[in-house]
Amino acid sequence: MRNLCLYEKDVYGQLMFCRNGAHLQMCNQFNCSSWFKCPGSYCTPLRLVCDSILDCIHGEDEQSCSEYICAGMRCSNCTCCVPQTEICAGVSHCPYGDDEEHCAHSSCVKNCSCFNQALLCQFGEISKIFAHGVKSFHWKYVELHHCNIFQQLVTAKSSFMILSNALFIDLRMNNITQICKMNSMKSVFKGIFIDMSLNNIIVLKSYCFSYATRLQSLFLEENGIAVLIDTSFSNLSSLAFLNLSYNRLEHIRGNYFASLISPKVLDIRGNPIEIFYT
């Protein structure tokens, strides 16, 4: 009952609590307390008010925005207003985590090193590294080398929420063999810079990077990649740098990269290319 009439979305933009919105019905008399009341309807978080997205049924949360005063902090790259109660709350509400940037957070993860907002772990089982119960993750730069993370990717549905706020993600040398259509990769692909070089990814199937809409740089060097298809890189609308060097690609088709809107660098050096189809 405590989530009744509360309109909230998860980190993937999906409606929380009841996916079908059943908890948002018959809310006309509901008191929203510290939330914004959509007239005659449900409640939305104050951070969604005047963020240029219509969250109320009739868009009342985006009306009179020229007069709206943010009683908290504005995010640096959007019009979002995060109220005081959600600043340093352990979860980023600004797209790039401004509201968690200068907070005093929990100590570093056992067996790893932390520097400001960077987390570095090497030569450890990822399940053991995070076994001591860390619940909030605020690192913007995450480096996991030789941590045998692939088994964790396969078996866990949400373990990689450790990367949910990371912008720069380095997963080199982890024996990763598959990245396509895995729920645990959703958090990985929220970054803007991802390096998965020196793994064992042989095939890139269709829509491998469906969640990576803001990814700008992707490194897949020395993986042994031998197979691409026309939709391997679909949805990478922000990608500017793609490194596929020193793999096993023999045939290259122009269609492989047709969905990339603004690529600046495509590195395919060191591949045994025999045929290049334009």
Q: Is residue 73 part of a domain?
A: yes
Tell whether 179 and 252 lie within a shared domain.
yes
Tell whether 184 and 144 lie within a shared domain.
yes
Tell whether 140 and 225 lie within a shared domain.
yes
Tell whether 135 and 203 lie within a shared domain.
yes
Q: Is residue 36 part of a domain?
A: yes
What confidence score (pLDDT) does residue 133 get? Answer: 47
Domain ranges, residue 68: 22-100
In degrees rounded to 5, what are phi and psi of residue 61? -70, -10
Find the helix or strand (DSSP H, E) in which 47 lies: none
Q: How many structural domains is the chain composed of? A: 2
Tell whether 171 and 210 lie within a shared domain.
yes
Q: 188 and 212 in contact (C-beta within 8 Å)?
A: no
Residue of 123, 140, 228 whose CA lies nearest to 180 = 228
Q: 268 and 252 in contact (C-beta within 8 Å)?
A: yes
Q: Is residue 2 part of a domain?
A: no
Find the helix or strand (DSSP H, E) in which 120 lies: strand 118-122
**Alpha helix (H) residue ranges in 84-181:** 126-129, 150-155
Distance, in Å, from the CA atom of 129 to the CA atom of 225, rounded to the nearest integer, reads 29
Does 271 have pLDDT greater than 90? yes
Q: Is residue 5 part of a domain?
A: no
Tell whether 139 and 273 lie within a shared domain.
yes
Q: Is residue 9 part of a domain?
A: no
Tell whether 121 and 198 lie within a shared domain.
yes
Residue of 184, 265, 176 whose CA lies nearest to 223 = 176
What are the pLDDT digits (tens) for 52-107? 889 999 999 999 888 877 777 778 777 778 877 777 766 777 877 777 776 655 55
Encoding tokens for residue 77?
Answer: 């790259």
What are the pLDDT digits (tens) for 196-205? 999 999 999 8
Tell whether 74 and 131 lie within a shared domain.
no
Residue of 232 and 166 predicted with greater confidence: 232
Encoding tokens for residue 82?
Answer: 């995060």
Tell whether 95 and 121 lie within a shared domain.
no
Distance of CA 86 to CAs 16, 34, 64, 77, 160, Å? 17, 11, 23, 18, 23
Domain boundary (100, 122, 154) is at: 100
Tell whether 123 and 77 lie within a shared domain.
no
